[in-house]
Structure 1
Amino acid sequence: MTDKRTAPVNQERKSELVFTKKNYQLLIISIAIVVVGFILMSGQNDIYDVRKTLIAPIVVLFGFAFGVYAILKK
């Protein structure tokens, strides 16, 4: 009978990560942008301030969009 093994038992498999180092760096930057947006939103004075109602949500949404870009970047 012939031996039909396709690979030796001790052969090491090289596993590749889905994300590269650049993806992780961009993801960390996007998390930092989201945190900055939430910091801009915080505070007790003047709840209807332009910074809290317009600028901070735009910064947070930009951070989330940048995170999606960081995940999808090849």
Structure 2
Amino acid sequence: MSKQKTKNVQHKHDYVFGKKNYIVMAIGIAVIALGFILMAGGGSDDPNVFNPAIYGFRRIRLAPTIVLIGFGIEVYAILLNPNKAKKE
């Protein structure tokens, strides 16, 4: 009887993106979340009372700009070539 040798085969997982891509994506998601957090608020508890804070600079200009920057970071993360940085 012959014994079959079992080889330790390690399967290499091929991910779509590299580690650097995922790090940049996480940064982009954090920036988008920050933009939405800045956009929140400005409402009123009483529906008969108008709160003009909803039209402030932070909610109309700053927060949407930060969200768009976050989306730009996401596009960059997707287009980033993880193999370019590796030197083999």
Q: TM-score, normalised by structure 1?
A: 0.77
Residue 47 of structure 1: SS of its match in structure 2? helix
Match of 1:66 in 2: 73
State the identity %: 48
Question: Tell me, which stretches of 5 or more residues in structure 1 are unaligned?
Answer: 1-11
The Cα shift of 1:18 comes to 1.8
Distance in 2, matches of 1:70 and 1:27, equals 6
* 1:1-74 alignment runs, 5 A limit: 14-44=12-42, 46-74=53-81
Distance in 1, matches of 2:11 and 2:28, equals 33
Give the letter aligned to residue 66 of structure 2.
V
Shift >2 Å, 4+ stretches: 12-16
Question: Tell me, which stretches of 5 or more residues in structure 2 are unaligned?
Answer: 1-9, 44-52, 82-88
Distance in 2, matches of 1:42 and 1:13, equals 46
Distance in 2, matches of 1:15 and 1:39, equals 36
Q: TM-score, normalised by structure 2?
A: 0.66
The Cα shift of 1:43 comes to 0.7
Paired positions, count: 64
